[in-house]
Amino acid sequence: MNKNVNIAIVGLGQVGIYLYNELKSKKREIEIKTGKNINIVAISAKNRNKKRRFKINKKIFYSNPLKIFKEKKIDILFESIGQSDGISKKIVEYALKKKVNVITPNKALIAKHGDKLAKLAEKNKVNLEFEASVAGGIPILRTIKEGLSTNKINKVYGILNGTTNYILSEMENSNETFEKVLQKAQKLGYAEPGNPKLDLNGFDAFAKIKILSALSFNTKISKNNCIMEGIENIKLQDIKIASQLGLRVKLLGIAEIVKNQLFETVHPCLVSKNSYIGNVNGVMNAVITEGRPVGESVLQGEGAGPGPTSSSLLSDLMSILLGNIKYPFGISSNKRKSIKPFNNNNYSNSLYLRFEVKDKQGVLSLITNRLSKFKISVKRIIQTPDKKNKKATIVIITHKTTEINVRNFLSIFKKNKNILKFPTLIRLYN
């Protein structure tokens, strides 16, 4: 790469505009550290006249990002539009084919098309970097690719979504409902005001676990059918009961090699209040890897927001400016294999089951008989009657059982006149 490096930023939203300002203010520092003189020669967003957090140079503004490459020589493209397909995919593919290095925080794009894009980058001998796509400012991807590169990692898991972690922590701290705390999160900018669905339903964490899993196990990004559950059904009541039991609810992403098979999942977990992961609260993210010979490694930090995200984007930039062409997933695409998926039916956990029932004789035995039919043994029962409304809450903690047993056990409760709502299930972690 020449001393003078031309940069284009497409997408000037929360991340793009912050990055734009960071690149401008750190130009000299970057030159001192890398010997390269960076220049932002093109920027693009949808709306030219939108009021933005930092002033932009309108002379280099493009409404159509594809036009940039026809008019300017670009060395490095930052894609921060954020679509899994559409213009994001188009512009990244276009850039890689034109031998332009690409840096992106777009987890949706990488989780869906990462394999194909990595191959394209390798073929054209340019870099495709996406550190900011997982866990905001935590340098977890480079840690796996470089720092831990000769270890055999067999498990990677953690809290990968700051919005949901904030909501769960805040419900416990403030004693407020999910809906109230979601509104707070939106006001604070932790959750998207319009559509926070992709954070809440586990999709965001799921895209991240797929990227982490591919990197950790040197595999193709899996297309497996996985258990993906979010936090939308977690009630304040569950958080309070969990707390009395010395537990805390956390949305965990987990990827593991089990008997040479790949297991990936995202779902709420009950973890001990005394565990490390049980004390990662608020918007914090944490990623834990287990590998040989290194053992367990933990990285914790702010998982979202333009500041931490820009920190990762700039670390990708520094890596490109300082280094050679690297494989986007740590090893050559040809060497990355697909692994047989683990059968989800055999996933096994202790369970927390909450039933809202009519306060009638025989209801508890209906539940426990059904449990024993599916060989699910009970560890603990907590029954709280609500005499006034002739209702009761029954919470059952079970011993370990498989997913197939749980599904079969729960199936009759879809329609049972004594069970007022479909039971809430939260799996206990370890």
Ligand X SMILES: NC(=O)c1ccc[n+]([C@@H]2O[C@H](COP(=O)([O-])OP(=O)(O)OC[C@H]3O[C@@H](n4cnc5c(N)ncnc54)[C@H](OP(=O)(O)O)[C@@H]3O)[C@@H](O)[C@H]2O)c1
Which residues are designated catalytic? Answer: 208
By the rule CB under 6 A, 46 interacts with ligand X? yes
The contact pattern for ligand X, residues 292-331, with x = CB under 6 A and - = no contact, is: ------------xxx--x----------------------
Minimum CB distance to ligand X, residue 41 (Å): 16
Out of 5, 7, 9, 16, name the contact with ligand X by CB under 6 A.
16
Minimum separation from the CB atom of position 143 to ligand X (A): 17
To ligand X, the closest distance from the beta carbon of 321 in angstroms equals 21
Stretch of residues binding ligand X (CB under 6 A), selected from 11-19, 21-29, 324-332, 411-419: 11-19
Nearest residue (CB) to ligand X, 87 versus 148 = 87
| Per CB under 6 A, 253 contacts ligand X | no
Identify residue 326 by its one-letter amino acid code: K
Q: Give the angle 335-341-343 at the CA atoms, nearest 5°.
A: 165
User: Which one of residues 74, 76, 82, 363 is an interface residue with ligand X (CB under 6 A)?
Assistant: 82
Q: Is 81 in the site for ligand X (CB under 6 A)?
A: yes
Q: Does 423 bind ligand X (CB under 6 A)?
A: no
Q: Return the residue of 105, 230, 278, 328 that touches ligand X, per CB under 6 A.
A: 105
Binder to ligand X among 1, 6, 13, 281 (CB under 6 A)?
13
- Footprint of ligand X on 57-76 (CB under 6 A): 65
Q: Minimum CB separation from ligand X for residue 367, in Å?
A: 42
Tell the smallest beta-carbon distance from residue 251 to ligand X (Å): 16
215: β partners: none
Question: Smaller CB distance to ligand X: residue 185 or 270?
Answer: 185
Number of residues that bind ligand X (CB under 6 A): 26
Find the residue with minimal CB distance to ligand X: 13
10 binds ligand X (CB under 6 A): yes
Report how far residue 59's alpha carbon sits from residue 39's, in angstroms, rounded to the nearest whole number: 14
CB 134 to ligand X: min, Å: 9
Using rule CB under 6 A, residue 50 touches ligand X: yes
Q: How far apart are CA 69 and CA 78, in angstroms?
A: 13
Over its C-alpha atoms, the chain yields an Rg (Å, rounded) of 24
- Region binding ligand X by CB under 6 A among candidate stretches 101-109, 240-248, 292-300, 334-342: 101-109
Based on CB atoms, which residue is closest to ligand X, 87 or 394? 87
Q: Calculate helix-pair angle for 203-217, 107-123, nearest 10 degrees.
A: 30
Quick one: which of 193, 199, 229 has its CA closest to 425? 229
Output 107 or 336, the one with its CB closest to ligand X.
Answer: 107
What x/- string results for residues 115 through 144 when contact with ligand X is judged by CB under 6 A? -----------------x---x--------
Confirm or reject binding of residue 19 to ligand X (CB under 6 A).
no
User: Would you tell me which residues interact with ligand X (CB under 6 A)?
Assistant: 10-16, 44-47, 50, 65, 80-82, 87, 105-107, 132, 136, 304-306, 309
